């Protein structure tokens, strides 16, 4: 059976097509959410179908998740990101007991039970520190793309100390450090370490049980993974396509619910 999961996130809409018989993702797509989340989610789904080379009629069920899940047209069910993240991570690695998801505008730590269902979670959606948006603003202040920040950070011998976590003040701090001649690599490393520290604090409130999987778009930043692993004193598994894990979990839930109905 083929099913689809569409994760309409705050910054990016992701879709995954799952062949549930073999538990393999056969297509995926990611598009910026922009100002029309419903249209972006639909576009991500169309692009994922094209990548999988299947038509919409071949999809048995669609689950929508993410902050725009209520407005995605054509979804059979709407499920929280917490449940989808847990199911998606469990599909990729059944030994995972903690999922850390760093997205565009929030970060989450989720305890996952042995069957792949969420047992508990902690959420930061109040403050941009520890999210992708923070890193986007800071990369811009440094004059590099958000996808280049980790390469730059990993060149640093030691990270600069970033004392402010509020985005507005941290941006002024980056400008001030640059003006004092601190190397961009050290500032980039400092920003990645500060972000990781913030997420580690959140995960610490929940308790981090191994195995730990890091997902979400920010998991593509290898420096964050390294600093977070150091801060939590635990190994982090980062799957290929970490930004698609929630959409994959949504597609799995679509298959499970379709079979049960």
Binding site for ligand ADP (CB under 6 A): 9-12, 66, 103-105, 132-133, 135-136, 146-147, 216-218, 220-221, 243
**Closest distance between ligand ADP and the C-beta of residue 84, in Å?**
11
Cβ proximity to ligand ADP: between 146 and 194 the closer is 146
Classify 47 as helix, strand or coil. helix
Measured from the CB of residue 179, what is the shortest distance to ligand ADP in angstroms?
25
- The residue among 2 and 8 lying less far from ligand ADP, judged by its C-beta, is 8
Nearer to ligand ADP, 2 or 236 (CB): 236
Q: Which residue shows structure tokens 């930061």?
A: 124
From residue 138, give the alpha-carbon distance in Å to each of 118, 141, 142.
32, 5, 6
CB of 204 to ligand ADP, least distance (A): 21
For ligand ADP, give the closer residue by CB, 2 or 135: 135
- Supply the minimum distance, in Å, between the C-beta of residue 46 and ligand ADP: 18
Question: What is the pairing mode between strands 77-78 and 59-65?
Answer: parallel
Distance in Å, CB of 10 to ligand ADP, minimum: 4
In the complex with ligand ADP, the residue whose CB is nearer, 10 or 258, is 10
Strand partners, 14: 7, 30
CA–CA–CA angle 66, 201, 139 (5° rounding): 65
The residues facing 18 across adjacent strands are 3, 25
Could you write out the DSSP letters of every residue in 165-197?
-SHHHHHHHHHHHHHTT--HHHHHHHHHHHHHH
The residue among 59 and 135 lying less far from ligand ADP, judged by its C-beta, is 135
128 SS3 class: coil
Least Cβ distance, residue 133 to ligand ADP (angstroms): 6
Phi, then psi, of 202 in degrees rounded to 5? -65, -50
């Amino acid at each position: 059976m083929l099913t689809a999961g569409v994760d309409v996130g705050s910054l990016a809409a992701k879709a995954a097509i799952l062949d549930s018989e073999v538990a393999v993702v056969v297509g995926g797509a990611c598009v910026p959410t922009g100002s029309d989340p419903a249209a972006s989610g639909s576009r991500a789904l169309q692009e994922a179908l094209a990548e999988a080379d299947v038509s919409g009629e071949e999809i048995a069920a669609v689950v929508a998740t993410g902050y725009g899940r209520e407005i995605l047209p054509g979804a059979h069910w709407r499920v929280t990101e917490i449940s989808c993240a847990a199911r998606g991570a469990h599909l990729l690695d059944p030994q995972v007991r903690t999922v850390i998801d760093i997205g565009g505008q929030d970060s989450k730590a989720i305890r996952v039970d042995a069957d792949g269902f969420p047992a508990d979670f902690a959420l930061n959606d109040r403050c941009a520190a520890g999210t992708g948006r923070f890193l986007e603003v800071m990369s811009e202040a440094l004059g590099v793309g958000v996808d280049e920040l980790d390469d730059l950070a990993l060149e640093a011998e030691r990270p600069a100390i970033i004392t402010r976590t509020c985005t507005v003040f941290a941006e002024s701090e980056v400008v001030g450090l640059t003006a004092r001649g601190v190397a961009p690599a050290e500032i980039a490393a400092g920003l990645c370490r500060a972000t990781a520290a913030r997420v580690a604090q959140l995960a610490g409130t929940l308790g981090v049980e191994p195995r730990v999987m890091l997902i979400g778009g920010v998991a593509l930043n290898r420096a964050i993974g390294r600093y977070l692993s150091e801060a939590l004193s635990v190994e982090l598994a980062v799957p290929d396509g970490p930004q698609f894990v929630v959409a994959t979990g949504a597609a799995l839930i679509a298959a499970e619910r379709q079979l049960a109905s």
